[in-house]
Structure 1
């Protein structure tokens, strides 16, 4: 399937997903099971240091470090190598794919968060907050004149994990492609699931981020293949 067809399929899936959550209360149904009404607490304490280290700070830092390492390697590959010494060879094309995915996907999701004006579960009245629950295409009540600062849709934290779905384009063997896809999905859902369990996101926020990442990755892979059409090996050091 070509890039255009894959992107068109992704857009269709995104539309179906958004329609599902817009026409149902699936978000609330899921979130109700992560919130204890009697205690007013979420399944995971947002201030608990160990979960935050493992599923937020640590995993986010590891992904950023991986992206920086790729960027450095990509830059070094353009240096002229002298002296006839040995070096480390890698594909510039596949390296660029990963660099673009790990930078553009999170930046795009972050930009969308600035304009969608959707609040986190912990901020709405149903879960102890002071904001009304409003879906993406619904207007806020007239009485809520200050409802203009929501920044929770789509899910920003999970975007770094889902960006690693690009690994399915990096590998050539089918089993390795599948392993790359599973890695990206697993990390994205671990990161997104943690946010949901502490009241930072609804299910729809994470699902939309996943599908949006898929669409963006297909486009970015096409860009990388145009920049380095033959995917030649390059010397790093």
Structure 2
């Protein structure tokens, strides 16, 4: 079981990384695809000039990961309130919170403190990893390079990588906007912790969101397609390692419960019923 878990969760993304490197970074497929989107007469990417497209796909789209991170942060902060309230000692305050419908919210956040903290930390780790890679490779976006009317030279990330200091002012690899969508993968690991049957929907939905974010920036000339794939790989690994630190492998590799299994109580050898928690 252990080998299967690591083969799926580490082996597949690492295999994808090798495939992306060979298929995109070692060829000119990225450039060939971007050439199809570039208008040589006007020396522009036409979609980059449509302000409504920019507003919807780049500015408004950020609401989803931004609000998710903010809700998780608020939940993490509220999670410490209920233990401080201690309604057994402060009965009048507890009764007031019950009447005002605040108590259920505080109890929920307290019960799920680890999950809220995980989402906050996972988002922070993903952002940090992407920022580190951007600053330590200094890759310029297509629209900034001489290939498409810019002033900077086109370089591949591996030819300019610096481990211990910033490589330059370029900030295009991996895709930052795409990574914002992929950070929603943190919710998938929360779902797996609880064996939620919709966790796979969170997985594929987060991947789809990230690829939509990344593709729209490719259409505008601000990224190559491989930048999106790299963002997905690094964000997945960052979320996975963070989830292992918070929940442990045993919890994450438990199979997802089916609907009838989640509704039925578990039976102990003595015949006592224990509901799933």
- TM-score w.r.t. structure 1 length? 0.82
Larger radius of gyration: 2
- Residue 117 (str. 1) matches residue 119 (str. 2): no
Taking the aligned partners of 2:158 and 2:73, their CA distance within structure 1 comes to: 38
For the pair 1:168 / 2:185, whether they are aligned, the reply is: no
RMSD, aligned α-carbons: 2.4
The answer to which structure has the higher helix fraction is 2
The correspondence for 1:76, drawn from 72, 75, 78, is: 78
1:31 corresponding residue in structure 2 = 34
- 1:184 equivalent to 2:206? Answer yes
1:105–1:213 contact (8 Å) kept in structure 2: yes
- Matched residue, 2:13: 10
1:188 offset after TM fit, Å?
A: 0.9
Structure 2 unpaired stretches of 5+: 88-93, 161-166, 252-277
Q: Distance in 2 between matches of 1:34 and 1:107?
A: 31
1:60 to 51, 62, 68: 62
Tell which has more relative contact order, 1 or 2 (C-alpha 8 A, sep 6+).
1
Whether the aligned pair in 2 keeps the contact of 1:14 and 1:212 (CA below 8 Å) is: no
TM-score (norm 2): 0.71
Q: Distance in 1 between matches of 2:125 and 2:230?
A: 16
Task: Assess if the C-alpha contact under 8 Å between 2:65 and 2:183 holds in 1.
Answer: no
User: Deviation digits for residues 50-85 of structure 1, max 9, x if unmatched?
Assistant: 222221122213422221121111121122232253
1:38-53 → structure 2 map (5 Å cutoff): 38-46=41-49, 48-53=50-55
Give the Cα–Cα distance (whole angstroms) in 1 for the partners of residues 46 and 243 of structure 2: 38
Q: Secondary structure at the match of 1:44?
A: helix
CA contact (8 A) 1:7 1:219 kept: no
Judging changes above 3 Å, is the alpha-carbon distance between structure 1 residues 170 and 43 closer, same or farther for their aligned structure 2 residues? farther
The 4+ residue runs of structure 1 with deviation greater than 6 A are none
Partner of 2:119: 98
Query: Are residues 1:108 and 2:129 paired?
Result: yes
2:104 matched residue in structure 1 = 87
